[in-house]
């Protein structure tokens, strides 16, 4: 209603100006231009000349639909195009950018694609943002916004299996020779810039880079069951497990039930976790 009232006032004002004696000779082209602007058919402002247009890069390549689209998505984002579309559509309300009088804002799919691309490749902000036509500051904000959106939308997706799903997981591991096994756990390093005012030796890992450790549990379908992130890269994997919420819940009997299982070869689980030969649970 406000928009319609505004257009009506503009048309009324324009008519009054046209009815004035000094506007009789006004050309028809100028009248049509003024009417178009007043009705909202033409933009009121053009992009500022000092705002550089966004480049295409990897994002434009992802938008092309051809025979190689599926392979390109898996190469750049580590997922199929269908999965990417589902994630981007679910995150649209949280990553939508406001339209301004400057240049065209980043599109929601482009925002989600950049965050997934950086997580998949591990490139620095300086290198990865140029492939998506955005600045470094925009890239940092995009990753934070997409992280918050995914946690809100898919917060219940990462959970320990229960009911029928739990029985399916136990049966699959039993077929592989691991009775009473719920999942496979391992730690990986996420490379980061050294946090300010923190001792460098804490985050300096065995690969001579600064990182934090992510402990992940998956089943045979690579479905993520549990994630624990945050300890500095110098920590040992077993130390991280001992400090994790997974260890606390297991010791409280909230996850696993039953006595330890002896595997072929005389290998016995230590309570709830079986370590390999290099990193036995006793460590």
DSSP string, 111-174: HHHHHHHHHHH---HHHHHHTTT--HHHHHHHHHHHHHHHHHHSTTTS----HHHHHHHHHHHH
Q: Say what angle helices 2-19 and 28-38 make with each other, to 10 degrees.
A: 160
The residue that leads in pLDDT, 280 or 272, is: 272
| pLDDT on residue 126 | 84
pLDDT grade for 281, boundaries at 50, 70 and 90: very low
| pLDDT on residue 155 | 83
Region 123-141 average pLDDT = 86
pLDDT grade for 106, boundaries at 50, 70 and 90: confident
Closest CA to 49 of 103, 106, 98: 103
Q: What is the pLDDT of residues 108-123, one digit of tens each?
A: 998 999 999 998 887 8
| pLDDT on residue 70 | 81
pLDDT grade for 279, boundaries at 50, 70 and 90: very low
**Mean pLDDT lowest among 53-57, 70-74, 152-156, 251-255:** 53-57
Q: What is the pLDDT of residues 179-225, one digit of tens each?
A: 888 888 888 888 887 888 888 888 888 888 888 999 999 988 888 88
Region 234-248 average pLDDT = 87
- Counting residues of the chain whose pLDDT is more than 70, the rounded percentage is 74
The residue that leads in pLDDT, 225 or 265, is: 225
The residue that leads in pLDDT, 197 or 21, is: 197
Asked if the model's pLDDT at residue 280 lies above 60, the reply is: no
Q: How far apart are CA 258 and CA 152, in angstroms?
A: 35
| pLDDT on residue 282 | 37
Q: How far apart are CA 4 and CA 38, in angstroms?
A: 11
Helices (H) and strands (E) in the chain, counts: 12, 5
The residue that leads in pLDDT, 187 or 37, is: 187
| pLDDT on residue 283 | 33
């Amino acid at each position: 209603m406000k928009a319609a009232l505004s257009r009506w006032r503009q048309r009324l004002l324009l008519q009054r100006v046209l009815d004035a004696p000094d506007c009789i000779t006004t050309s028809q082209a100028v009248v049509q231009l003024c009417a178009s602007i007043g009705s909202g058919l033409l933009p009121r402002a053009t992009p500022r000349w000092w705002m550089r247009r966004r480049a295409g890069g990897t994002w434009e390549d992802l938008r092309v639909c051809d025979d190689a689209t599926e392979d390109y998505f898996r190469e750049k984002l580590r997922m199929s195009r269908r999965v990417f579309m589902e994630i981007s559509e679910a995150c649209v309300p949280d990553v939508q950018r406001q339209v301004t009088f400057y240049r065209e804002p980043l599109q929601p799919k482009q925002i989600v694609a950049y965050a997934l691309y950086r997580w998949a490749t591990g490139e620095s902000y300086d290198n990865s943002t140029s492939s998506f036509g955005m600045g470094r500051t925009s890239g940092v904000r995009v990753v934070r916004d997409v992280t918050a959106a995914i946690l809100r939308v898919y917060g219940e997706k990462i959970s320990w299996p229960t009911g029928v799903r739990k029985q399916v997981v136990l049966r699959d591991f039993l077929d592989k020779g691991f009775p009473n096994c719920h999942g496979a756990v391992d730690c990986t390093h996420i490379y980061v810039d050294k946090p300010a005012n923190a001792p460098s030796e804490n985050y300096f890992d065995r690969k001579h880079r600064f990182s934090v450790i992510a402990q992940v549990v998956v089943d045979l379908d690579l479905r993520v069951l549990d994630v624990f992130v945050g300890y500095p890269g110098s920590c040992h994997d077993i130390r991280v497990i001992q400090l994790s919420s997974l260890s606390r819940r297991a010791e409280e009997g909230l996850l696993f039930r039953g006595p330890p299982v002896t595997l072929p070869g005389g290998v016995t689980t230590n309570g709830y976790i079986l370590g390999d030969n290099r990193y036995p649970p006793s460590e």
